[in-house]
Amino acid sequence: MTNIAFIPVRGGSKSIPLKNIKLLAGKPLVYWTAKAANDAVCIDKVIIATDSMEIKQTVIDFNLSKVEIYDRKAENAQDNSSTESVMLEYLENNKYNNDDLLFLIQATSPLLKSEFINEMYNKFILDSADSALSCVLSKRFFWTHNGKSINYDYKKRPRRQNFDGIFMENGACYINSIKNILKEKNRLSGKISVYEMPEYTAVEIDEPDDFLLIEKLMEKYNDD
């Protein structure tokens, strides 16, 4: 069985031009997830899927042993392109066994570490799951737009230490088999294993200020 880490990065970004290679803590953004996947014991190869020659050359210069480049089609690198579209494009153009696993990793989650990937994989196996996703446990109180409480009874507000909270996707990592992805056209399917990552990993890179926040978090939590 082959375990493939798949990191889609495109050149276009409206909010932050060439976001995926903008420097974060002295390294291009995509370096951090590429390095985490490269160093994960459970990962056999790391695919960086990009439509940008500049990103491609930047990734090549990382000299990470497991990393390969996939030249994604422009039609699947638009603002309205889904992540699933480039995943399916890659799988339809590369031969893998049905039981091989694809680890979808998003470059906008640079707080992902190799140990998290390994632990998530081990839990996925122990759970005998079909797919898996990474989450953080949130003990915030959520509401709908029309004023309905979602995850608690506001008339009986619980104390934080007695509140179970709710899991929230942090977008860092997903695992599924090649067979399932091709069949369901989705990163998740069947019995889903939930892997809990630390609360600080809830932050993703979407806006310029996120770089400043994540750099501070990396100073505190990263060893690299």
C-alpha 127 chain-centroid distance: 20
- Tokens of residue 97, six digits: 């066994």
The catalytic position among 10, 140, 157, 160 is 157
Contact 141, 149 (CB under 8 A): yes
**123: number of Cβ within 10 Å:** 16
Please confirm, yes or no, whether 187 is among the known catalytic residues: no
The CA-CA-CA angle for residues 172, 174, 10, to 5°, reads 60
Q: What is the Cα–Cα distance from 101 to 120, expressed in whole angstroms?
A: 13
**Among candidate residues 164, 112, 107, 101, the one with its CA nearest the CA of residue 134:** 112
Annotated catalytic residues are 157
